[in-house]
Structure 1
Amino acid sequence: MPISTARVATDRPARYAKQLAAHMSRKVETSFSPETGRGTLVFRAGTATLEARSDALLLTVEGEREDLPALEDVVGRHLVRFGARDELVVAWHRDNGEAGLVHRNEEDPAESAPEA
């Protein structure tokens, strides 16, 4: 089955993996083990695996070729939102050599600041 991967540099990979799994558990089946730093998200269209390493969160989505963009989008978009302060960037790389989606916080900090 086709896959797409992303390596997200962060000094808090387990925190983000746990937060993503907990958030997504409202909509899909999820798991996360603090002991191993690994988790899964099970969507109708495929699965995502999360692996916390010492300096990065490794993401893998697996599904039919036509479903990869949607899987990349839901995982990447939510993770970047959680990691806005750390300016996380999720750049997906598909196993067939195609470039995947790229997610980064595009919000202007001045727009999100509370008014005085």
Structure 2
Amino acid sequence: MTETLTFQTGTFQTQQGSKYLQQLCKHFAHKIEVDYDAQSARMALPTGPATLAADETTLTARISGADDAALERARHIIDDHLKRFAHRENFEAMGWETL
């Protein structure tokens, strides 16, 4: 039986989206499979596949999980790391929406 995943999208308005995308990917690449360039990324988070996209004004994350607990963990993984990387922008959390 195939596991059904739920998806959420998070956004962070920043002009440093590409920088943060690359920082996240370089950091995560030590523990999980990551494929990225300056504008996009695919990551094998433990909760399910995730993608990142950066443009001139926004960093967008699309996460997946089998249940609410998995989505919460994925949000925490992304938000917690961005808090460290984007501390100069007073980052607290992405704006998350269920798809």
Identify the TM-score tier after normalising by the shorter chain: 0.7 to 0.9
Larger proportion of helix: 2
The runs of 4+ residues in structure 1 deviating greater than 4 Å are none
RMSD: 1.2
CA distance in 1, matches of 2:23, 2:42: 12
Query: What is the CA distance between 1:20 and its match in structure 2?
Result: 0.4
1:59-115 superposed Cα distances (whole Å, 9 cap, x missing partner): 1101212311101111111012100011224122223xxxxxxxxxxxxxxxxxxxx
> Tell me, which stretches of 5 or more residues in structure 2 are unaligned?
none
Correspondences of 1:6-85 after superposition (within 5 Å)? 6-34=10-38, 37-66=39-68, 67-85=70-88
Tell me which of the two structures has the higher relative contact order, counting C-alpha pairs closer than 8 angstroms and 6 or more residues apart: 2
Counterpart residue number, 1:103: none
Greater radius of gyration (CA) = 1
What fraction of aligned residue pairs are identical, expressed as a percent?
A: 24
TM-score, normalised to structure 2, is: 0.86
The count of residues paired between Structure 1 and Structure 2 equals 93
